[in-house]
Structure 1
Amino acid sequence: MRVGSTGTRWPMTPCTGPSAMAATVSSGWTDGRMQDAGAPQVRTLLLTDLVDSTHLVERLGDAPAAALFRAHDRLVLELQQRWRGRLIDRSDGLLLLFERPIDGLAFALDYARGLRDLGREMQVKQPLQARAGLHVGEVLVWENSADAVRLGAKSLEVEGLAKPLAGRLMALARPGQILLSATAEPLAHRAARELGERGELLVWKSYGRWRFKGIPEAQEVYEVGEPGLAPLRMPAHTPKAWRDLPLWRRPVALAAEALLVAGMAIGAWFLAQPKPAIAFAERDWVVVGDLRNLTGDARLDEALEQAFRISLEQSRYVNVLGDLKVRDTLQRMQRKPDAAVDRALGSEIALRDGARALLLPTVAEVGGRLRVSAEVVDPHTQTTVYAVSADGKGIESALGSIDDVTDQLRGKLGEALQNVQKTSVPLPNVATPSLDALKAFAVARRLAMTTGDREQVLGLYRRALQLDPQFALAHADMARLHASLGEVAAARDEWRRALALPQRLSPQERQMIELMLLQHDGPQNYFRKADEYLALYPDDYQTIGRLSSNQWHQRNDFRTAEALARRALKPQNERFGSVHYSIGIMLLGQERYDAALAEFRLARETGFLGAGEFYAFAHEARHQFAEADKVFFASAVGRTGWQGEAGAIVWINRGQPARAAAAVRAWSEAADAGDDVLESLRAGAALASMAVLHGQGDASEAQQALLALVDAKGAAGDAVYPPLSTELKLYSGLLSAYRNDRSGVEDALRRTQDNAVVHEYPTVRELYQVLQAEQERLAGQPRLAMARLEPLVRQDTALVATHWALMRAAHAAGRADVANAQAEWLATHRGRVFAESTMSDVLRFFNISVSAAALRSQQARMRAGTVTP
Structure 2
Amino acid sequence: MSRVDKDAVMNDAHRPNADGPQLRTLLLTDLCDSTTLVERLGDGPAASLFREHDRLVLQLQQRWRGRLIDRSDGLLLLFERPIDGLGFALDYARGLRELGAPRKLTLQARAGLHVGEVLTWRNSDEAVQVGAKPVEVEGLAKPMAGRLMATARPGQILLSAIAEPLAHRAARELGERGQQLLWKSHGRWRFKGVPEPQEIYEVGEPGIAPLRAPPNGPKAWRDIPLWRRPAALAAEVALLAMIGTGVWFATRPQPAIAFNQRDWVVVGDLRNLTGQGVLDDSLEQAFRISLEQSRYVNVLSDLKARDTLDRMQRKVDTVLDRAVASEIALRDGARAVILPTVAEVGGRVRVSAEVIDPHTQTTVYAESADGVGAASALTSIDEVTSALRGKLGEALKSIDKDSEPLPKVATGNLDALRAYALGSKAYAHRQFDEALQYFQRAVQIDQKFALAHMGIMRVYVSNADTDKARPYLERAQELRDHLTPREALYLDAWAAEFGPQPSLHAPGKWKLLAGVYPDYFAGRYQYAWSEFLANRFDSALAATTAATAPQEPLRNVAFELAGRIHLSQERYAKALDSFKQAELSGHYPPNRRHASALAAMRRFDEANRILDSLTEQGRSVSGHLPDQFERIAVPLDQGQYAKAAEIAREAARASRGASILVRHPLRFTELVVRSVSGKDQPTSAEIELFADAVLADAGKPNSADHDDLALNALAAVRLAQRQGDRALAERLLPRVVKAVNSSGSSLSRKLLQVARAEQLRLAGKPDEAIRELRGLSDGSEPFQAHVALRDALLAAGRKDDAATETRWIAAHRGRAYADPAGGQVYLAMNVADASVAQRDTAKATVAVAAVKPGG
Tell me the TM-score normalized by structure 1. 0.74
Which of 666, 691, 699 matches 1:715?
699
**Residue identity in the other structure for 2:524:** I
- Distance across 1 between alignment mates of 2:559 and 2:222: 40
Please say if 1:486 is aligned against 2:464.
yes
SS of 2:375's equivalent?
Answer: helix
Q: 1:391 offset after TM fit, Å?
A: 1.6
Name the CA distance, whole Å, in 2 between partners of 1:462 and 1:399: 22
Shift of 1:317: 1.0
CA deviation profile, 1:65-111 (whole Å, cap 9, x unmatched) = xxxxxxxxxxxxxx9xxx999x9xxxxx99999877799999999xx
Q: Structure 1 residues 601, 130: closer, same or farther in 2, change over 3 A?
A: closer
Preserved contact between residue 210 and residue 242 of structure 1 (Cα < 8 Å):
no
Contact 2:278-2:415 at 8 Å conserved across structures: yes
Superposed CA deviations along residues 150-209 of structure 1, whole A, max 9, x for unmatched, are xxxxxx9999xx9998787667679999988467769999999xxxxxxxxxx9996744
For each residue in 1:748-789, what CA deviation from the matched residue of structure 2 results, as whole angstroms up to 9, or x when unmatched?
433334556388312111111112222222233322222222
> Contact conserved, 2:790 with 2:803, CA < 8 A, in 1?
yes
Report the counterpart of residue 42 of structure 2 in structure 1. Answer: none
CA shift, 1:50, in A, is: 12
- Tell me, in whole angstroms, the C-alpha distance in 1 between the residues paired with 2:781 and 2:239: 64
Per the TM alignment, residue 217 of structure 1 is displaced from its structure 2 partner at its CA by 7.4
The superposition leaves residues 401-426 of structure 1 with CA deviations (integer Å, 9 ceiling, x where unpaired) of: 11111111111111122222221211
Q: Secondary structure at the match of 2:706?
A: coil
Summarize deviations over 1:282-332 as a string: whole Å, max 9, x none. Answer: 111111111111111112111111111111111111111101101111111
Structure 1 residues 216 and 107: alpha-carbon distance in aligned structure 2, compared to 1, 3 A threshold: closer
Task: Say whether residues 1:390 and 2:373 are aligned partners.
Answer: no
Shift of 1:472: 1.3
In 2, the alpha carbon distance for the partners of 1:844 and 1:257 equals: 81
Q: How does 1:46-61 map to 2 (within 5 A)?
A: 46=26
Which residue of 1 is the match for residue 629 of structure 2?
645
SS for the counterpart of 1:723 is helix
CA distance in 2 between counterparts of 1:598 and 1:256 reads 66
Q: Quick one: structure 1 residues 451 and 560, their matched pair in 2 at CA, closer, same or farther if it must change by over 3 Å?
A: closer
Two-structure CA RMSD over aligned residues (Å) = 4.7
In the superposition, relative to structure 1, how do residues 257 and 170 fare at CA in structure 2: closer, same or farther (>3 Å)? Answer: farther
Distance 1:165 1:721 in 2: 48
| 1:788 correspondence with 2:772 | yes
Q: Does 1:32 align with 2:19?
A: yes
**Could you say which residue in structure 2 is the equivalent of 1:341?**
320
| Matches of 2:245 and 2:570, distance apart in 1 | 59
Aligned 8 A contact 1:212 1:241 in 2:
no
Q: 1:96 to 1:462 in 2, by over 3 A?
A: farther
Q: What is the rounded CA distance, in whole Å, between the counterparts of 2:562 and 2:511 in structure 1? A: 20
1:319 aligns with 2:298: yes
**Which segment drifts farther, 310-319 or 441-450?**
441-450
Relative to structure 1, the CA distance from residue 266 to residue 361 in structure 2 (aligned partners, 3 Å threshold; closer, same or farther) is farther
After superposition, the Cα gap between the structure-2 partners of 1:830 and 1:320, relative to the gap in structure 1 and judged at 3 Å, is same
Quote the residue 1:23 is aligned against: none
Offset at 1:495? 2.8
Tell me the distance in 2 between the aligned counterparts of 1:261 and 1:741.
Answer: 98
TM-score, normalised to structure 2's length?
0.75
CA contact (8 A) 1:45 1:166 kept: no
Match of 1:511 among 443, 467, 489: 489
- 1:607 and 2:594 equivalent? no
Is the aligned partner of 1:763 residue 2:747?
yes
Whole-Å Cα distance in 2 between the matches of residues 660 and 382 of structure 1?
60
8 Å CA contact retained: 2:26, 2:76: yes
Aligned partners of 1:333, 1:804: CA distance in 2, in Å?
Answer: 51
Residue 789 of structure 2 aligns with an amino acid whose one-letter code is L
* Match of residue 668 from structure 2: 685
How far apart, CA to CA, are the structure 2 residues paired with 1:260 and 1:788? 85
Correspondence for 1:527 among 495, 507, 519: 507
CA contact (8 A) 1:371 1:391 kept: yes
Q: Distance in 1 between matches of 2:426 and 2:310?
A: 17
Structure with the greater alpha carbon radius of gyration: 2
| Structure 1 match to 2:360 | 381
Specify the SS of the correspondent of 1:792.
coil
Is contact 1:392–1:398 with CA below 8 Å preserved after alignment? yes
Task: Decide which of 464, 471, 477 is 2:449's aligned counterpart.
Answer: 471
Maintained 8 Å contact 2:684/2:728: no
- What is the CA deviation profile of residues 476-533 of structure 1, one whole-angstrom value per residue up to 9, with x for unaligned ones? 2222222222222333432332232233211111111112222234334333333332
The structure-2 alpha-carbon separation of the partners of 1:640 and 1:514, relative to structure 1 and needing over 3 Å to count, comes to: closer
1:729 shift after superposition: 2.7
2:264 maps to 285
Distance in 1, matches of 2:725 and 2:246, equals 88
Give the Cα–Cα distance (whole angstroms) in 1 for the partners of residues 537 and 185 of structure 2. Answer: 37
Going from structure 1 to structure 2, the CA distance change for 1:424 and 1:206 (only over 3 Å counts) comes to same
**Range with bigger deviation, 745-754 or 826-835:** 745-754
Residue of structure 2 equivalent to 1:498: 476
Unaligned runs of 5+ in 2: 1-12, 32-60, 91-108, 120-136, 189-195, 224-232
Given that residues 46 and 133 in structure 1 are in contact (C-alpha distance below 8 angstroms), is that contact kept between their aligned partners in structure 2? yes
Q: Where does residue 812 of structure 1 map in the other structure? A: 795
The structural deviation recorded for 1:373 is: 1.0
Alpha-carbon contact 1:390-1:404 (below 8 Å) kept: yes
State the 1:694 CA deviation. Answer: 2.5
In structure 2, do the counterparts of structure 1 residues 269 and 395 end up closer, same or farther at CA, with 3 Å as the change threshold?
farther
User: Does residue 665 of the first structure (1) align with residue 652 of the second (2)?
Assistant: no
Is contact 2:467–2:703 with CA below 8 Å preserved after alignment? yes
3-state DSSP of counterpart to 1:519: helix
Q: Is the 8 A contact 1:212 1:242 kept in 2?
A: no
1:458 aligns with 2:436: yes
Aligned twin of 2:529: 549
**1:617 equivalenced with 2:621 (yes/no):** no
Code of the residue aligned with 2:287 in structure 1: it is: F
Q: Residue 738 of structure 1 aligns with which residue?
A: 722
In 2, Cα distance between the equivalents of 1:416 and 1:831?
A: 48
Q: What CA distance in whole angstroms lies between the structure 1 residues aligned with 2:598 and 2:238?
A: 68
- Residues 466, 759 of structure 1: alpha-carbon distance in 2 compared, 3 angstrom cutoff: closer
Name the structure 2 match of 1:829.
812
Q: Distance in 1 between matches of 2:235 and 2:544?
A: 49
Q: Could you tell me which residue of structure 1 aligns to residue 781 of structure 2? A: 798
- The verdict on how the C-alpha distance between 1:261 and 1:305 changes in structure 2, with shifts beyond 3 A counting, is farther
| C-alpha separation in 1, matches of 2:803 and 2:426 | 58
Letter of the 2:339 counterpart? L
Distance 2:756 2:412 in 1: 60
Which position in structure 2 is the counterpart of 1:559? 538
Deviations 1:548-606 (A, max 9, x none): 121111x1122222221111121111122232222211111111112211222222223
8 Å Cα contact 2:25/2:81 also seen in 1: no
Q: Which runs of 5+ in 1 are unaligned?
A: 1-25, 35-40, 52-78, 88-92, 110-128, 142-155, 193-202, 224-230, 245-254
Q: Is the 8 A contact 1:730 1:748 kept in 2?
A: no
Q: 1:544 to 1:633 in 2, by over 3 A?
A: farther
Alpha-carbon deviation of 1:728?
A: 2.5
Q: Distance in 1 between matches of 2:323 and 2:146?
A: 49
Which amino acid in 2 is paired with 1:797?
A: S
CA pair 530-375 structure 1, distance change in 2 beyond 3 A: same
Query: How far did 1:708 drift?
Result: 2.6
- Give deviations 1:393-446, integer Å, cap 9, x for gaps: 222321111111111111111112222222121111121112222222222223
Q: Distance in 2 between matches of 1:270 and 1:631?
A: 70
Aligned sequence identity (%): 40
> Counterparts in 2 of 1:233-248, with a 5 A limit?
237=214
CA contact (8 A) 1:703 1:732 kept: yes
Partner of 2:828: 845
* Alignment partners' CA distance in 2, 1:95 and 1:664: 62
The alpha-carbon deviation at position 821 of structure 1 amounts to 0.5
Q: How many residues align?
A: 737
